[in-house]
Amino acid sequence: MTSKGFVSEEYSEQAEAAQVFAHNMALVAEQSQQVWSRFLDAKLRDSRPVHGDPLNTLPAFNELGQAWLHNPEKLAEQTLELWNAQLELWRRITLRFMGGEDRGPMASPARGDRRFRHEDWSQNVLFDYLKQSYLLTSTYIQDAVASAAIEDDRDRRKVAFYTRQFVEAMNPANFYATNPEVLHATMQEKGENLVRGMKMMLEDLERGRGNLLIRQTDMTAFAVGRNMAMTPGKVIFENHLFQLIQYAPVTEKVHATPLLILPPWINKFYILDLNEQKSLVRWLVAQGHTVFMVSWVNPDERQKDETWATYMFDGASTAIDKVLEETGQKALNLTSYCIGGTLAGGMLAYFAKVKDRRVKSATFFTAQLDFEDAGELQVFVDDQTIAVVDEQMDKGYLPAEAMAQAFNMLRASDLIWGYVVNNYLLGKDPFPFDLLYWNSDSTRMAAKVHHFYLDHFYNRNALVAGDLQVGGKSVTLADIDVPVYHIAAKEDHIAPAESIYRGARLMTGAKVRFVLSGSGHIAGVVNPPEMNKYQFWTNEDMSAPDVEHWLNGATETPGSWWPDWDAWLAKHSRSKVAARDPGAVLGTIEDAPGRYVTVRSDGS
């Protein structure tokens, strides 16, 4: 073939590639219009009032501005340091571009930061400059905010939180034109990645009914009752608030004292029964416990009149009655997780006041009881933001995506922007991951219950302040008088270990065993011994004023804390009895995990 033929063939291939690329860009433009149309249509149909500052950030940022005005020298000094650093970065990058010596980076991503993992972020001079310039600037912004003399603790945390949101959103990795991995994928795939990404974004908007409900895993890879929540058992009771599951025994003998688990209603109970390898429920059954689980209803308009009191008495207290009726026992061991523990704390204090002895011992999994400094979720709560949330709950419940968005913002880089890039820019399906499937299976919140929770606990710290009324009686943590096992997680960003420890110390009427687990809010709890991961710390002396000092005298043990808890439970359980078949007294309604847990808020 002549050279002219080769040129003609090469030109033809380039022309064909350009034609495919142009076609895909036209599809992207068309899909973009559909995305905007769907988004705007949802906003126009939303009759709720529009707030200029729904998260009430303006007062906090006004205080930040005043702090800078009162100490301009500090801000000027920090700005000059940034300017000098940027000049030095420009000098180094210019020399490197001209073939000079590479003196190494002036700014590097934090360990574990996956945003800049593509090789071009280091090897390509332009993208390396973008990366380092961003890192220098983002560090400057956050340091300037952190060092400002903001007197109000809540305002200081709020400013720091939303500054971090801004900094993470502005990361060059989040944008098509400044992400080398996305540019490479677009060239190699002739834009097919963007076509897939926009299709995925439109589907996520449809699933969120106009709100972008970002998928974090393959939603078709899992199903409750198919490959999740698989521990055998029966639903033996149900009412308008919950189903009660009794799990089938696998040992000939079981502890006489039954164990009731009160999970949070912000998420679904099957985080404790995720699969055969990670199931706390399955493990407890294998240790000879008769395990009962509350499966909360996913609220809708029918729960608009439910209150914190009905969740306590028609929910938790009724579940206790049914467990005791089924087993013929006079008392049980109660375990609660997260907000389920907040409910249990008030209920146990009330039980002590009225001499109700149906609970023999209480276990709290990462459950906040003292909300004086309740972590970053507290930035979403004050009188104005509660009023805005009330307007969101005009149908009698808080939409599931509202809470999901708040939790995702706590780790926006991983749970929001990482998926924006992976899903919508790279056009990749997210990896199948059971934990993220559970995380996406969000629940709605009954309006009055959620308002009470935000106002009485996050806003007023009522259980500590002596301002919580239960059954007409004022209760505090000091009223609790049953033995308590309290587990906190060292890296918990939802219920900080320091907050958990303060609450545990305030239970002055109870004998408390406080245990600190490695990892976070989920992995610190769901940590089967067979996985041999993390560690836990114990220290019988709780006189230390905070977790840091408590840790100084603590003993570290590798692996899971579950066996330690099981040994503690055994001390608060009676001798063994013959294993109990589920529903032998109350009868059975259906197989576990039951109907209530399968109701998804996104309609899928």
Query: What is the Cα–Cα distance from 492 to 508, expressed in whole angstroms?
Result: 24
Region 310-334 average pLDDT: 98
Query: What is the Cα–Cα distance from 598 to 441, expressed in whole angstroms?
Result: 9
pLDDT at 46: 67
Q: Is the peptide bond before 593 cis (omega within 30 degrees of 0)?
A: yes
pLDDT tens per residue, range 16-65: 777 887 888 888 888 888 877 877 777 667 666 666 688 888 989 999 99
pLDDT tens per residue, range 120-146: 999 999 999 999 999 999 999 999 999
Q: What is the DSSP string of 323-373?
A: HHHHHT-S-EEEEEETHHHHHHHHHHHHHHHTT---EEEEEEES-----TT
Residue 184 phi/psi, 5° resolution? -60, -45
Place of tokens 């834009």: 191
Query: What is the Cα–Cα distance from 486 to 408, expressed in whole angstroms?
Result: 26
pLDDT band of 451, cuts 50, 70, 90: very high
Is residue 310 predicted with pLDDT exceeding 90? yes
Active site amino acids: 338
Residue 255 phi/psi, 5° resolution? -60, 140
DSSP 596: G
Q: Which of the two residues, 554 and 40, has the higher pLDDT score?
A: 554
pLDDT at 488: 97
458-412-340-530 Cα dihedral, nearest 10 degrees: -140
Q: Which of 67-81, 137-151, 350-364 has the highest mean pLDDT?
A: 350-364
Q: Which two tokens stand for residue 238?
A: 């149900």
pLDDT at 210: 78
Of 111-115, 241-245, 305-309, 353-357, which gets the smallest average pLDDT? 111-115
